[in-house]
Structure 1
Amino acid sequence: MKRVQSELFAPYRFMGVVTGDVAPSLRTTFVGKKSTLSVLCPIDNVIVQYNGMKLRAIGMSEPLNDKVTTVASSSTSVFAAHGKTISSLHFCREVKNSIDIGENIKFMYLMGTQLIAIDTSSGIHVIDTPDDQFQKSLHMEGSESFEISSICHPSTYLNKIVLGSSQGRLRIVNIRSGKVIHEFQRDFGARITVLEQTTALDVLAIGMENGEIVLFNVKMDKVLGTYRHDSRITSIAFRNDGEASMVTADATGTMAVWDLEKQELLGKITGTHTNEINCLHFIPGEPIMLSASLDNSIRLWIFDGADGMPRELIRLEGHSKPCVSVKFVGKNEVLSAGKDGSVRKYDVTSLTMRQKLGTVAQLPKGTAITAATEVRNVEEMVFGWQREAAWNNVFCRQKDDTKVTTWQSRNNTHGGFSLQHDRFKKKVDFIDAKATALCLSPCGNFVFIGYSTGHIDQFNAQSGRHVHSYTSTAPKTKKREAKRRTPAKSFIKSNGSLLNDTPAADSPITSLSVDQLGRDLMSTDEEGHILFWNLATKQVTARMFKKDVRLGISAPCPCNSLVAVVAIDEEGAESVIVVDRVCHRVARAFKTVGKKVNAMAFSPNGEWLLVADNDSYIRVFDVINSQLIDVLLFSKPCISMEFNETGQYLATVHQGERAVYSWFNKTLLAQQVNIRVLDPEYLPKWADEDKEDVDVIDIDSDSDDGTTVLDLEVRKMKNMQIDPSLITFSGLPASRWANLPDLALIKERNKPTDAPKKIKQAPFFLSAAATLDGFEFQTDSIEELLGSVSNTSKRNLLELETGFSKLLKNATTKEHLLNGFEEFKEKSLSGIDYEIRNLNPKTLPIFIRMLNEVRTSWIPYST
């Protein structure tokens, strides 16, 4: 996903995407006699590499310039097409070489060292790739009468490929001569989508858009068998472990297993993949098959049953539909809910940790969840850590539904019940009602739900029972309450609701939040009312109202009493007000927040407020100074975001994306972060657009001193290296240059107070050791002195003179020194180190002179 550089946040990792919309490529690498299968999955502009036998992520390529449209690989090379460029990736990591084709690439096929690329105009490009060096060898222009839709290389057919067209015809092309050898007159009657080599020579499997599969002998021009699906064929694979079996897949995610000897259907697998299957691959010599689908999943199957049908061995999956909500449930763990009705958990610091808590389904308790089960889109999710080990602590409300589902993050399971009031089951007036707001008490015992009917209900999180329905009517007198106490209790017991079911507001509830002490409940509605409820007395303690203003979503601050609320005026312009729930007044107001606010989040320390709008911007406001300090720009709007408890990571979910993106807070580890106040109307632009100078104000500067202008030229100057010999202060730690302005003062302070004293020297005939005060006589015995002398003589005997030292000693001319340097260069690193360490005081000056002679013999530096 594209983004613009931010001053406060740096990209860290994306989670939840297993495979993209492009079919993966499988490669087998050999280390000695051991082979390793790898799955290369293009995801946007990167390629993720998985271990084929365990489906664990083992690497990721560097980002490419554009989205990857197709990928091809062999045991030694990986090629990726992005835009009009094809790049070779060394070990699927860094880009080694690239070539521009001039047209967008549709798909590629690798034959040995020859890479065949088909562009969008059905042109054929043949590129030789010896040692990953690109050399164009052939280009054949395409035609509208034969639009290439699939490609295959028949076994034993040298330099020949078979092309399938959208018109339903086949053609054989020689990629060496660039000629069409043969075009079959047979019309298959539908667009050819798949061409696959079977285990028999001369026989190809042809999959078509009408769901028909044909086994075709290209040598005899004869149809050997026909099979059929209900929808478009997307992939075909053949077992190569001795069994005559074929597996086909279609656009609905259905896989069929066929017995080729009996020409009959063994069985179908439905509901496992919920979207198009774009890859089927059998591991050579083993009854193991890998399948990949557009539902963001990769599965490994094993054929070990007597009926010839596979069973699932390993599954790697993420959200099959875009994410809509994200919550941190720990320092590094993230919960995400998607439109597929599933709730999943990821770890920010690990690529392999991923778990599924379950799927939201509209079925009675005890009924199994199947592929045909109707699921509802999750719109909001709340989490509480206080009762995580005891009972359900995650609650989700669905789109157009009054039922709230429960989950438990400790056991990673679905809750045993759902929260729903009886009024929505029995009264016809509430048939179109839906839950619009949700919050959890800080103690984790109570769940509060707001509805489009204006009702607010309180449920027990442990048992799921209804506790109270809030109403804004005036409280009853003690005498009237005493008369009606008994029937009210009986009504609660029998019906699960209050006798007086008056809604808390006359318009839909838009947000709910409970303070940190669990004393007050704050509710907002569409008519502009803000009500504060006392949870002990269940009565309204304060009201706030602004005419002609509608209120939207809210976000409470985790460390104080502030709550950010979206306010919408009559003209539809949105702003964000920060309400102090203790003083019951508006503490801050931010007018420039975009056309429509999608999400809001406070930082854990309450200093920042992040507001995401529908124009793909996230504005960062400083709450204390009430100023804009940063703006993030993405290619897609952010619809949910959340900080972790330490403020180290920010998790975001974007519209139409199945991934959860994590961003690192630069202020925690960066040496210097420029926190500047920006103009309220400031909006960043993409790199290819014209950039204008931006006025920025130092956040710590006083208003009397004016503003500090920092335009783009100053930013470029900070990163510019004037000369390689100079020191760039911004690249060194602050301790290296912080004291430079006070260097003169430090030198003055460190001056000695006394004049230097002459050190006393011992007589030459006495052994002494130097000390700080002068000298000290040694008390070593004669035996020790004799022993040290003998050791010194023995050490001198062990010092051997190397050949390089002899060469230096015998050098008399400049040519001798230069020849010695040439021999010195040919040695290994350990040899060079050995020669330098063995230089004695006689040869060391000659060695320095040799280096000077070599330096002066080079071409002088031109200024």
Structure 2
Amino acid sequence: MRNDFVRVNYCDSFYIFQVKKLGIVAVSNALPEDIACLAADRMLVFVAHGKLVTAFARNKEVVHTYTGHGADVHLLQPFGDHIISVDRNNVVIVWDVQSEDEYLQMAHDKASFEISAVMHPSTYLNKILLGSCQGSLQLWNVKSNKLLYTFTGWGSEVTVLQQAPAVDVVGVGMASGLIVMHNIKYDESLMNFQQDWGPITALSFRTDGHPVMAAGSPIGHIGLWDLEDKKLIGQMRDAHSTAIAGLTFVHAEPLLISNGADNAIRVWIFDTPGGGGRLLRCRTGHSAPPTKIMHYGQNGQQILSAGQDGTLQSFSCVHERFNKNLGHGSINKKKSKRKGLKLDTMKLPAITTFAAETARQSDWDGIIACHRGYLIATTWNYQKTSMGTHKLEHERFDKNRALNVQATVVDVTSCGNFAVVGLSSGHIDVYNMQSGIHRGHYGDSKAHEGPVRGVVVDGLNQLTVSAGADRLVKFWKFKSKELIHTVTLGASPSRTLLHRHSEMLAISLDDFTLNVMDLETRRIVRKFPGHRGQINDMTFSPDGRWLVTAAMDCTIRTWDLPTGAMVDCFLVDAAVVSLSMSPTGDFLASAHVDSLGIYLWSNKTLYGIVSLRPLPSDFEPSVVVLPGTCPVQDDVSDEDIDTSSDTMIDYVSKEQLDEQLVTLSLLPDSRWKNLLNLDIIKKRNKPKEPPKVPKAAPFFIPTIPGLMPQFAALEDPSAKEQSKVVNFGVLAQKSNFFLQLEDAWVTNNYTTPLQLLKDLGPSAVDTELRALAPDMNGALEQMQAFLRMIGTMLDSKRDFDLAQAYLALFLKLKDCPSQALSFWNIPLLQGSGTGCI
């Protein structure tokens, strides 16, 4: 079964997707610059970034780099063993792929022929076809560097050149919307098509037997043209919300792959009777940067994200197949479907903030959001992956719509039954999430005299806390809506965040400081200055010990609440607009200015020992590269690494900490603890019954082995009888340990025999010590050498446990008390070991 893959570049790397499921198969290593264009042949993937062309092998590793262009490269064309590149200075260079040498360079005058497209016509050996902004085409032989033919063109800029399934026929797409099927062998136009949606951005032809051509447009529509009947047979309107960047029909299959600037890849299948395509599968993300992100659920696997494109999406931290798109907010979904994507006047603007609770998500909507410049707060259903049924708005604004009031903050109670909405007019309303009915408001007329900047409800639905631009923090009873306490802040608050388990309320102020308030005592317990810009978002760690904040000064700071100190701070390239720590505490998610993705930061304290010492107030953070989708090689040498960093280095203990301390051998206990009990162990393991004599074996006449069996000849009775005297010298072989002791007696270096003894098992050690005795072919000098080895061990205080065990076994085997050691004249042992025996 054939597997088809598609490669898509994004920023400084490219992704490889499997067409079957649109799952990511591989991600290339990152490049120092954004990728301008991408091409591939059977073995390599070529990318242009800046003035360089790079070749990747195995979809990940850079194997070749081609240097020589004086301007940015914008066109690439694989050409057998060569790669053709075109830069903005109108210079064409043909490179040898393997040697990276420049094979040919051609320079064209931009005034007469500015190259805008390049292709290799099928079956045309050593030929390339160039399209220009002036509308003309040129056919070149790159081997001889000769211009073979010039096509006059059609008076419009050539945007696309695509080989048709028929030989000699090329599809030419132009900026005027004209599509020409041209025979380059006879310089004849076979047919013309006019597309009214603007310039042609992409062309592709079906190769499964149907004469159909697909053409892309800058407004996201795809046109389907029948090449046999020469007519338009279908329109795929709003295939993408932005311009079509690429179209490719899968070889010999009715599948069309499209991608656009809306950060989406879609696969269309053509199986309908009318010849049109329907959406088979897609991979989408935000087409505009996110504005607010938040972890959804208690497992930390889903991240809700609201983008400037007006959509609410859910991204999985586990696998892309669990991603969900909850859609775009709309005032009237039925009318929006009838009007279409482009003419939808019922669309709601982007979501500015939202709140979510999973307690009753299976019963009714569990997400509430407020939109930029809109009074209405909308509900969303995660289970149905769509916008909810309620639009929360108080009737007090029905008569006067010119007040320019908008919803600013929202919160959902922990039980999932109620939603609290704060407005720019100072009102705070409570709604039922199941029915959408208004259930009351705080304050006689208004809760605050200015816009509400924050509103939270505690975990038991007993207390509601609100913060307004009037610098007041007010405590309300949730049920009776009665005001019970007020705290005045030093500056206007910008946002609030409550950790419900610890009842700690974090408040960011307009003077770039942070206040942490205890809801039980209703007092400010911590104040954190340090940020040099507006604080964009905050998040608590699951245990409530850390408060992580991000501001427009491009810093992410971690504050330790028990100590009241900043324990971590680092800079990023782009300011963070929103962040969220997972309920499990393993990842921190962040969204950044002008970035479509969501970045995940790993919590290092879960995987190793990290020193979290307080940082000084004048601490200057270092810039940290944003997390990527692939590993990046650091160019920092070992000499440039700051030894004062917070990274903990694994400590390697010395072999001996101090000469005055006793050091053990670290050998298993079974190697030395039972040396004195070997005789008991042998007696215990002795069989209960004596071994039985085997039955008499039957008599067999000896035979000589061979192909034909023959009986062996009888021995000559007159042969001389062998001697029965045994030579015991053969049995008196000395062991390696014995020989090493002899050498150590002369050199006074006992390292080798000690290591040999440490490698032996208990029974072998017992045998070696027994062999030292003179009656076992040993010698008195070897016994003295062994005791001197023990004395060396005791004097150095190393392998102390082995020295004690070996000496105890030696004394037991020789039946010698410790007082008798002095008769062997071993002064080293007497000086070091008498207190240790």
Match of residue 562 from structure 1: 504
Match of residue 302 from structure 2: 333
Task: Tell me the amino acid that sits aligned with residue 100 of structure 2.
Answer: F
Structure 2 CA distance for partners of 1:626 and 1:35, relative to 1, 3 Å:
same
Match of residue 817 from structure 2: none
Instruction: Give the Å deviation of 1:156.
Output: 1.9
Contact 2:574 2:593 in 1 (8 A): yes
Q: C-alpha separation between the residues in 1 aligned to 2:536 and 2:648? A: 41
Match of residue 32 from structure 2: 65
Instruction: Give the Å deviation of 1:177.
Output: 2.8
Instruction: Give the Å deviation of 1:352.
Output: 2.8
Q: 1:542 aligns with which of 485, 506, 531?
A: 485
Match of residue 357 from structure 1: 326
SS at match of 1:410: coil
Structure 2 CA distance for partners of 1:742 and 1:460, relative to 1, 3 Å:
farther
Q: C-alpha separation between the residues in 2 aligned to 1:684 and 1:668? A: 22
Contact 2:160 2:203 in 1 (8 A): yes
Structure 2 residues not aligned, in runs of 5+:
626-637, 698-837
Match of residue 235 from structure 1: 202
Render the CA deviation track for 1:478-504: whole Å, top value 9, x for unaligned.
Answer: xxxxxxxxxxxxxxxxxxxxxxxx222
Contact 1:87 1:98 in 2 (8 A): yes
Q: C-alpha separation between the residues in 1 aligned to 2:52 and 2:561? A: 46
Q: 1:674 aligns with which of 580, 586, 611?
A: 611
Structure 2 CA distance for partners of 1:760 and 1:368, relative to 1, 3 Å:
closer
Match of residue 88 from structure 2: 120
Render the CA deviation track for 1:187-245: whole Å, top value 9, x for unaligned.
Answer: x3332211111223322222122222222333333333322222121101112222222
Instruction: Give the Å deviation of 1:525.
Output: 1.4
Aligned length: 672
Match of residue 168 from structure 2: 202
Q: 1:141 aligns with which of 86, 91, 107?
A: 107
Match of residue 780 from structure 2: none
Structure 2 CA distance for partners of 1:538 and 1:635, relative to 1, 3 Å:
same
Q: Tell me: higher relative CO, structure 1 or 2? Use CA pairs within 8 A at least 6 residues apart.
A: 1
1:463-862 map, 5 Å: 463-471=435-443, 473=444, 502-546=445-489, 549-568=491-510, 573-670=511-608, 672-686=609-623, 716=642, 730=649, 737=653, 741=657, 745=661, 747=663, 772=681, 781-783=691-693
Task: Tell me the amino acid that sits aligned with residue 112 of structure 1.
Answer: G
Match of residue 244 from structure 1: 211
Task: Tell me the amino acid that sits aligned with residue 220 of structure 2.
Answer: G
Render the CA deviation track for 1:650-707: whole Å, top value 9, x for unaligned.
Answer: 111112222222221110012x22323333343434599xxxxxxxxxxxxxxxxxxx
Instruction: Give the Å deviation of 1:552.
Output: 0.8
Instruction: Give the Å deviation of 1:784.
Output: 7.3
Q: C-alpha separation between the residues in 2 aligned to 1:404 and 1:245? A: 47
CA RMSD of aligned residues (A): 3.2
Q: C-alpha separation between the residues in 2 aligned to 1:167 and 1:511? A: 59
Task: Tell me the amino acid that sits aligned with residue 237 of structure 1.
Answer: S
Structure 2 CA distance for partners of 1:407 and 1:740, relative to 1, 3 Å:
farther
Contact 1:231 1:250 in 2 (8 A): yes
Q: C-alpha separation between the residues in 2 aligned to 1:679 and 1:294? A: 45
1:92-107 map, 5 Å: 92-102=59-69, 103-107=71-75
Match of residue 265 from structure 2: 298
TM-score in terms of structure 1 length = 0.72
Q: C-alpha separation between the residues in 1 aligned to 2:607 and 2:79? A: 49
Q: C-alpha separation between the residues in 2 aligned to 1:777 and 1:551? A: 86
Structure 2 CA distance for partners of 1:364 and 1:714, relative to 1, 3 Å:
closer
Render the CA deviation track for 1:323-382: whole Å, top value 9, x for unaligned.
Answer: 211111132121112222222222212233212223211216786474133242011111
TM-score in terms of structure 2 length = 0.75
SS at match of 2:2: strand
Contact 1:340 1:375 in 2 (8 A): no
Task: Tell me the amino acid that sits aligned with residue 105 of structure 1.
Answer: V
Q: C-alpha separation between the residues in 1 aligned to 2:128 and 2:329? A: 48
Match of residue 408 from structure 1: 381
Q: C-alpha separation between the residues in 2 aligned to 1:664 and 1:582? A: 33
Structure 2 CA distance for partners of 1:681 and 1:170, relative to 1, 3 Å:
farther
Q: Does 165-174 or 517-526 show the bigger shift? A: 165-174
Render the CA deviation track for 1:268-322: whole Å, top value 9, x for unaligned.
Answer: 1112211111111112222222111111212222222332222222222222222
Q: 2:426 aligns with which of 429, 439, 454?
A: 454
Structure 2 CA distance for partners of 1:738 and 1:729, relative to 1, 3 Å:
farther
Task: Tell me the amino acid that sits aligned with residue 212 of structure 1.
Answer: L
Match of residue 211 from structure 1: 177
Contact 1:163 1:170 in 2 (8 A): yes
Contact 1:408 1:415 in 2 (8 A): yes
Structure 2 CA distance for partners of 1:191 and 1:680, relative to 1, 3 Å:
farther
Match of residue 192 from structure 1: 158
Structure 2 CA distance for partners of 1:231 and 1:746, relative to 1, 3 Å:
farther
Q: C-alpha separation between the residues in 2 aligned to 1:603 and 1:295? A: 34
Establish whether residue 88 from structure 1 lines up as the match of residue 4 from structure 2. no
Structure 2 CA distance for partners of 1:179 and 1:785, relative to 1, 3 Å:
farther
SS at match of 1:352: helix
SS at match of 1:667: helix
Q: C-alpha separation between the residues in 1 aligned to 2:643 and 2:203? A: 58
Structure 1 residues not aligned, in runs of 5+:
1-33, 474-501, 689-711, 720-727, 762-768, 788-863
Match of residue 758 from structure 2: none
Match of residue 190 from structure 2: 224
> Which structure 1 residue ranges, 4+ long, deviate > 4 Å from structure 2?
364-367, 685-688, 712-719, 738-746, 748-753, 756-761, 769-780, 782-787
Contact 1:561 1:581 in 2 (8 A): yes
SS at match of 1:589: strand
Q: 2:79 aligns with which of 100, 111, 117?
A: 111
Match of residue 441 from structure 1: 413
Q: C-alpha separation between the residues in 1 aligned to 2:231 and 2:569? A: 61
Render the CA deviation track for 1:84-133: whole Å, top value 9, x for unaligned.
Answer: 33333222123333333444321211122221112232221212224xx5
Instruction: Give the Å deviation of 1:648.
Output: 0.9
Q: C-alpha separation between the residues in 2 aligned to 1:675 and 1:446? A: 40
Match of residue 118 from structure 2: 151
Task: Tell me the amino acid that sits aligned with residue 379 of structure 1.
Answer: T
Match of residue 285 from structure 1: 252
Match of residue 480 from structure 1: none
Percent identical: 28
Q: 1:380 aligns with which of 353, 367, 385?
A: 353
Structure 2 CA distance for partners of 1:743 and 1:351, relative to 1, 3 Å:
farther
Q: C-alpha separation between the residues in 1 aligned to 2:307 and 2:693? A: 86
Structure 2 CA distance for partners of 1:108 and 1:415, relative to 1, 3 Å:
same
Task: Tell me the amino acid that sits aligned with residue 616 of structure 2.
Answer: D
SS at match of 1:300: strand
